[in-house]
Structure 1
């Protein structure tokens, strides 16, 4: 087995990228679907932004160093990863704020309809933003969650928009983006796709399936750092039809005219809101540039193979240890992660972290392991499962210190 693992790593076309990340020695990091590792180039880029652009050029940097162009410039790079045109993606704000923008835009496109539809078990912020928007006009707007199996059958004449996460954050299960989008369109319903657990980890082709809107975060597989700016995709055909509900000054047609009335900028620029966070944008751009260098087909092949290996080794070594897959075992049906049920999932994950294997826990009982193919190796997977096997066999997780719940799990 060790020889097979070594051979897989030796033949890996993505292996050279591993040295371009600052990963601590002895740590097996399988949480890139929550926070990506630090690209080594980010430190020098951030130092330059702070010391030269901010420290020396000061306010002149909005023009001299194109700070003002960062949202469009980085957005165009992300567009190349998600099957969009460069003028359909803008960077800025948070994923939650961008969900609100797209929901409110969809209500304008479908002004005679009133239901915001999503599924139970979706990432909570998406459902919460639906609730918040509905609370603004409770007599007109309704938020509705249905079981995953009932999504298509729930696309009735009351639905203004469907909001779904492409890769489920708990189980890693993928939605059929082309099929669901087509089914929604057949009923006159636009679709918002949350790509937070997909972008940078697998090929996505929004325009091929005629997607309407999409959003995603910058700090997972794009390696933009904690709280990195998010992005918004708006199909060209919708851009001029929407008056932004969050009509911030930078989305104005002429922001530096400082007029009293809001006139939306043309195209994707109207989906900007406030002043972009330049430090966050600078870090994000380094991570995006790194992903853009790699072949997305290679990334997808490796992430699938890493997941297959993890599932197979757990099945071989941990049988009878109260652990079972919570993710699809077929790689074509899951994103770049694997998940397992265990009745003491939180304590098991804390025991893993204590032994330098970092994944994460998702309530109520899920152990989650995310694979970032640019820096994770097959050897990482084999060693992680070896440690997991020992923890389960010895029940070393059964300690009070591993049952303590921190603010972030």
Structure 2
């Protein structure tokens, strides 16, 4: 067993050789009470430049340009920033990604459009999804199925792993209209084989919608290379867009004129200011916008995109793998002897940017950690989720946080045994 001091020495060496370490100084320093932030996969930290950007916008753009800003720049921001996201983190050529509503709304728009799309002869009556997908995805698809008279075909997913190509092949067929899966599982961090799964769905005439909420900005995504049809994802996790920052939607170019999204609004019309009696959808990605774009909510993510474009998503992924490997090493040595189990894939090729460690006491442990300035989150059943953001998380911070998890779990076990 490696000594704690040896682990700390490793962490400090890793920080000195980290090619992304200088980005840490670009984020707002947490207050002195925060020892380790392990929840960057739920809400990223704010970049300093984003605070300046938002202030500058309010004073120089909003206050001085007033409504003229729409004509001069703001109307195009959903597309210019969308293209940046596509280029930097989605592997998507321009003209296929837009920033717009919440992930929930965009998921509804694209899924509803997909199941309504004409697909040759034969009725396609099923949506394929998995039992362990994020609740929003399951709830939205259940509602769409009820609206359109469709049925849901469930893939039973292991919460500690994820959906495999073999399971998808067994579930899809001539009745399948749409397959909706997460690229990185929100609970376990399992990284799906997206290209293989997409090909299987296409071989059966189905469309695929990928949820990239836990992928974008953490692991490489190659939507164009996968032949992906549709994708949605949020921007407040690894892209640090801020609480409730708007989500993105990707629609493959050849599908844009085929799909009819269900929430018709004036901003998605062919002539936005015609104000005509009938709705005629715009060409391209504008047709997937409904209402007025949330301009202020789009601003902050640009500074994280600057950082990612500077070093490249492959460098971000390399550090992510190193951080999660280190966290797993510490969990094996410190938490496994206390009865905790790794609930994420050990193989880095099958793991996204977070690690989950399970134990029946983790709900209580998480509450204790928050009181002590270590901030992970909790997911049933018994999972303490450790989200490590490569741009803002250091190896020493990971060491300190994992040591606090060990101490809190040990204390809870001693108290439960009556020896504490």
* Alignment partner of 1:53 is 2:70: no
Aligned pairs, number = 396
Deviates more, 1:181-190 or 1:349-358: 349-358
Q: 1:396 to 1:187 in 2, by over 3 A?
A: same
Answer whether contact 2:168 2:200 (CA < 8 A) is retained: no
How many Å apart are 1:272 and its aligned residue?
Answer: 1.0
The whole-number CA distance in structure 1 between the counterparts of 2:360 and 2:29 is 31
> In the alignment, what sits opposite 1:185?
202
Q: 1:77 to 1:397 in 2, by over 3 A?
A: farther
The correspondence for 2:129, drawn from 98, 118, 121, is: 118
Alignment of 1:287-366 (within 5 A): 287-366=304-383
> In the alignment, what sits opposite 2:400?
383
How many Å apart are 1:396 and its aligned residue?
Answer: 7.6
> In the alignment, what sits opposite 1:127?
138
Answer whether contact 1:348 1:391 (CA < 8 A) is retained: yes
Q: Could you give the per-residue CA deviations for residues 95-149 of structure 1, whole angstroms, max 9, x where no partner exists?
A: 0111111112211334531211100010110111111112223xx3223322136
- Give the alignment's TM-score, normalised by structure 1: 0.93
The correspondence for 2:14, drawn from 8, 16, 20, is: 8
How many Å apart are 1:166 and its aligned residue?
Answer: 0.4
Alignment of 1:143-222 (within 5 A): 143-148=152-157, 150-222=167-239
> In the alignment, what sits opposite 1:75?
82
> In the alignment, what sits opposite 1:241?
258
Q: Could you give the per-residue CA deviations for residues 169-191 of structure 1, whole angstroms, max 9, x where no partner exists?
A: 00000110011001111001110
Answer whether contact 1:351 1:397 (CA < 8 A) is retained: no
The RMSD of aligned alpha carbons is 1.6
The whole-number CA distance in structure 2 between the counterparts of 1:259 and 1:116 is 36
- Give the alignment's TM-score, normalised by structure 2: 0.91
How many Å apart are 1:397 and its aligned residue?
Answer: 9.1
The whole-number CA distance in structure 2 between the counterparts of 1:332 and 1:179 is 14
How many Å apart are 1:398 and its aligned residue?
Answer: 5.5
How many Å apart are 1:265 and its aligned residue?
Answer: 0.8
> In the alignment, what sits opposite 2:48?
40
SS in 1 for 2:296: helix
The whole-number CA distance in structure 2 between the counterparts of 1:76 and 1:313 is 39
SS in 1 for 2:357: strand
> In the alignment, what sits opposite 2:295?
278
> In the alignment, what sits opposite 2:3?
none
The whole-number CA distance in structure 1 between the counterparts of 2:15 and 2:298 is 33
Residue segments in structure 2 that go unaligned for 5+ positions in a row: 1-5, 158-163
Answer whether contact 1:119 1:151 (CA < 8 A) is retained: no
Answer whether contact 1:30 1:370 (CA < 8 A) is retained: yes
* Alignment partner of 1:260 is 2:252: no
Residue segments in structure 1 that go unaligned for 5+ positions in a row: 400-409
> In the alignment, what sits opposite 1:405?
none
How many Å apart are 1:54 and its aligned residue?
Answer: 1.9
